[in-house]
Chains A and B, each alone.
Chain A
Amino acid sequence: MSTLANPIPSTAGAAAVSRNSGKRHYGTHIFLTVMAVMWLIPLGWSLYTALRPKADTDKYGYFSFGGSFSFDNFIQAWTQGGFSKYLLNSVLITVPAVLLTLFFASMMAFAVSRVNWKFNITLLIMFTAGNLLPPQVLAAPLFEMFKHLSLPYSFSDSGNLLNTYISVIAVDTAFQIGFCTFVLSNYMKALSSDLTEAALVDGAGIWRQYWNIILPLCRPALAALGTLEVIFIYNDFFWPLLFIQSGDRLPITTAINNLQGQFLSNYNLIAAGAMITLIPTLIIYLALQRQFVAGLTLGSSKG
């Protein structure tokens, strides 16, 4: 949370804090601690359940301290439960979708923020609005469009775009471009126009201005947005649910929909599956916390 650190603590603020420091902060700490414990209980309970073998919970009950702890449930979910496959599917969808989103959005943002053109604002409004729509509004037409688009069976075994990664990647990209364009165009507007003016004098074309000058300067914004988009698309539940029918192609977030049926009320395995789904986001959060938090506040427009 270092991005949130207060840079200039005002003297009055500090005085107020020290004035109030005895009793009031005591109460604040109690409140925050109670809230924090309540916040952690659901996650802690899942982790605890996941670490215990089903035999032990059957014997002692779920709410008990007896028995052993192991990663057996994780191993079983990973191998027999197909979580290795689901995670791979998530990677195959998330990586191209994020790269395409950032690529298209940065081109669009460059065009609307660095070049004067009559329809700049119209386009930007269209892109921003598109991102705010509930996805269910577009579900039926997209599903039918993909279903009725015939493709050779060598390309897709369904004979159309359904049940392919491409369908999910395309719609995720289209949906996220709006948000990224909005954020990046604000960022690019803030860059001095002298930068590209100088390049123009040197005879640099539009593409070189974009690729060699503007884009490298947007690296912090791209890093923040990239981290955020990885989490958004990894967490996307709806589009794979709609487009992908065969279970072994589902990404992990949508695959947890089938956990109950698949593991037949084996809550220990379900909990292990949930924890596996959480691990990649946790790693990204710990490694790229700054980018993620910056991205979220950058995108406080996000619906």
Chain B
Amino acid sequence: MSTTAEKPAAPDSEPGAAGRTTAGKGHSGAGRRPGKAGKVRRLTRRDKFVLAIMVGLPTLIQLLLVWLPTLFSIALSFTRWNGLDLKDIKPAGTDNYRFVVQDYPPFWPAMQHNILWLVFLALIATPLGLLLAVLLDQKIRGSKIYQSIFFTPVMLSLALIGVIWQLFYNRDSGLLNYLLGTAGTPRAVDWFGDSNVNIWAAMVAATWRHAGYVMLLYLAGLKGVDPSLREAASIDGANAVQTFFRVVFPAMRPVNIVIVVITIIESLRAFDIVYIINRGTNGLELISALVIQNLVGEGQVIGVGSALAVILLVISLIPIVFYLIRTFGKESKA
């Protein structure tokens, strides 16, 4: 598995889809495809039919349940609708966007929180994961045990992480206030309830998971770095820190790109943890939570919810397009 494990992390060296032979990845066997018509030459009518089903069915599911709803979201964002009767959908121009930006109090706090979330993951959680990976990549005793411990939260859902940290953060029954010596006193902090601190408390809980994930990816990435690079650097007299930042880290570029994309997308997708704490209100507003608040409950305002969804979509497209260009750019040019 270890050879294939590196493949998606190394999109630069993917073989061209049209049978173009690319250097690198000796095991890929890409060179064996001779030309455009290489793979399957003669397709019978029956084969064509089978292929149409094999492509058509998943594509239909994907279009119907992912892309069509995305287009509908865009369309609904320019309408006014309470979600009841389809006939009640009224065109609204850009009213929903104007309302969201100008008159919807939680919108700008939510934007700030999403940015804060991204900055926190990027500056605290991701470097922490990298640090753990670098330390554990050395041949130290008990490395596997440490890895297993740091990795455990990665298996948990963010919703469950919210519950577990709630137990830890509670004002009266949580461990943290006991450890700080404030339990039972008026200075005891309700870490998830106090709107001054709860976003930080939630980001710490999210870091618990994100750092383990980053650690895992970098551990795999570090194994993939050619040992001769380090050897050459140490012969040239570079110390460990120089070797890492000048040689090893740049050599992990494919992994770095994946981690940048994951970090951005995770911060845009952050939803479960704030929703389970207080549905994303009172200091925990995030765009994704605002979308849902406008869709469910009594005052269904589908248009406003959709406008928020489109804003989320447009922001998400930045890392998605960046990643797709990195991954597929070379292939489509071939």
Q: Is the CB of A174 within 8 A of B312?
A: no
Cα A238 to Cα B159 in complex, Å, equals 9
User: Which B168-225 residues have C-beta < 8 A from chain A?
Assistant: 168, 170, 172-175, 178, 183, 205, 208, 213, 216-217, 219-220, 223
Cα A190 to Cα B14 in complex, Å, equals 9
Q: Is the CB of A256 within 8 A of B17?
A: no
Question: Nearest Cβ in chain A — how far from B86, in angstroms?
Answer: 7
Cα A187 to Cα B152 in complex, Å, equals 27
> How many residues on the B side are at the interface (Cβ–Cβ under 8 A)?
140
Nearest CB in chain B to that of A285: its residue: B155
Question: Nearest Cβ in chain A — how far from B48, in angstroms?
Answer: 8
Q: Is the CB of B146 within 8 A of A36?
A: yes
Q: Does A133 sit within 8 A of B, measured CB to CB?
A: yes
Within the complex, which residue of B27, B166, B276 is in contact with A190, where a contact is CB–CB below 8 Å? Answer: B27
For B240, the chain A residues whose CB sits under 8 A away are 16, 20
Q: Does A51 sit within 8 A of B, measured CB to CB?
A: no
Nearest CB in chain B to that of A147: its residue: B83
Question: Nearest Cβ in chain B — how far from A193, in angstroms?
Answer: 5
Q: Does B93 sit within 8 A of A, measured CB to CB?
A: no
Q: Mark A233-271, 1 if CB is under 8 A from B, else 0.
A: 011111001100000000001101101000000010011
For A183, the chain B residues whose CB sits under 8 A away are 8
Within the complex, which residue of B160, B219, B266, B309 is in contact with A303, where a contact is CB–CB below 8 Å? Answer: B266
Cα A200 to Cα B40 in complex, Å, equals 8
For B320, the chain A residues whose CB sits under 8 A away are 129, 132-133
Question: Nearest Cβ in chain B — how far from A179, in angstroms?
Answer: 10
For A120, the chain B residues whose CB sits under 8 A away are 17
A129-B324, A299-B8 known; A25+B140 contact, CB < 8 A: yes
Cα A174 to Cα B9 in complex, Å, equals 23
Q: Does A91 sit within 8 A of B, measured CB to CB?
A: no
Q: Does B153 sit within 8 A of A, measured CB to CB?
A: yes
Q: Is the CB of A121 within 8 A of B59?
A: no
> How many residues on the A side are at the interface (Cβ–Cβ under 8 A)?
134
Nearest CB in chain A to that of B3: its residue: A190
Q: Is the CB of B288 within 8 A of A196?
A: no
Q: Is the CB of A125 within 8 A of B324?
A: yes
User: Which B50-96 residues have C-beta < 8 A from chain A?
Assistant: 50-51, 54-55, 57-59, 61-62, 64-70, 72-73, 76, 83, 86
For B101, the chain A residues whose CB sits under 8 A away are none
Q: Is the CB of A206 within 8 A of B2?
A: no
Within the complex, which residue of A9, A10, A253 is in contact with B157, where a contact is CB–CB below 8 Å? Answer: A253
Q: Does A300 sit within 8 A of B, measured CB to CB?
A: yes
Cα A144 to Cα B149 in complex, Å, equals 42
Q: Is the CB of A104 within 8 A of B57?
A: yes
Cα A140 to Cα B57 in complex, Å, equals 24
User: Which A95-133 residues have C-beta < 8 A from chain B?
Assistant: 104-105, 107-108, 110-116, 120-121, 123-130, 132-133
Q: Does A177 sit within 8 A of B, measured CB to CB?
A: yes
Question: Nearest Cβ in chain B — how far from A59, in angstroms?
Answer: 13
Question: Nearest Cβ in chain A — how far from B209, in angstroms?
Answer: 11
Question: Nearest Cβ in chain A — how far from B105, in angstroms?
Answer: 20
Cα A143 to Cα B138 in complex, Å, equals 50
Q: Is the CB of B155 within 8 A of A121?
A: no
Q: Is the CB of B208 within 8 A of A42?
A: yes
Q: Is the CB of B50 within 8 A of A293?
A: no
Q: Does A55 sit within 8 A of B, measured CB to CB?
A: no
Q: Does B130 sit within 8 A of A, measured CB to CB?
A: no
Q: Does B282 sit within 8 A of A, measured CB to CB?
A: no
Question: Nearest Cβ in chain B — how far from A252, in angstroms?
Answer: 9
Q: Is the CB of A35 within 8 A of B132?
A: yes
Q: Is the CB of A174 within 8 A of B61?
A: yes
Nearest CB in chain B to that of A42: its residue: B168
Within the complex, which residue of A43, A139, A220, A296 is in contact with B152, where a contact is CB–CB below 8 Å? Answer: A43
For A68, the chain B residues whose CB sits under 8 A away are none
User: Which A41-98 residues have C-beta < 8 A from chain B?
Assistant: 41-43, 45-46, 49, 57, 62-63
| Interface, chain A (partner B; CB < 8 A) | 1, 3-4, 6-14, 16-17, 20, 25, 28-29, 31-32, 35-36, 39-43, 45-46, 49, 57, 62-63, 104-105, 107-108, 110-116, 120-121, 123-130, 132-145, 147-148, 170-171, 173-175, 177-178, 181-183, 186-187, 189-194, 196, 200, 205-207, 209-210, 220-221, 224, 231, 234-238, 241-242, 253-254, 256-257, 259, 267, 270-271, 273-274, 277-278, 281-282, 284-285, 290, 292-294, 296-303
20 further interface pairs, Cβ-Cβ under 8 Å (given A62-B178, A190-B27): A1-B144, A4-B219, A8-B227, A14-B139, A35-B132, A39-B150, A42-B167, A46-B168, A62-B172, A104-B61, A121-B17, A123-B59, A126-B67, A134-B288, A136-B271, A136-B292, A137-B70, A137-B310, A140-B295, A237-B157
| Interface, chain B (partner A; CB < 8 A) | 1-2, 4-9, 14-15, 17-19, 25, 27-30, 32-33, 36-44, 46-47, 50-51, 54-55, 57-59, 61-62, 64-70, 72-73, 76, 83, 86, 132, 135-142, 144-160, 163-168, 170, 172-175, 178, 183, 205, 208, 213, 216-217, 219-220, 223, 227-228, 230-231, 234-235, 240, 255, 258, 261-262, 265-266, 268-269, 271-272, 275-276, 287-288, 291-292, 295-296, 302, 305-306, 309-310, 312-313, 316, 319-320, 323-324, 327-328, 331-332
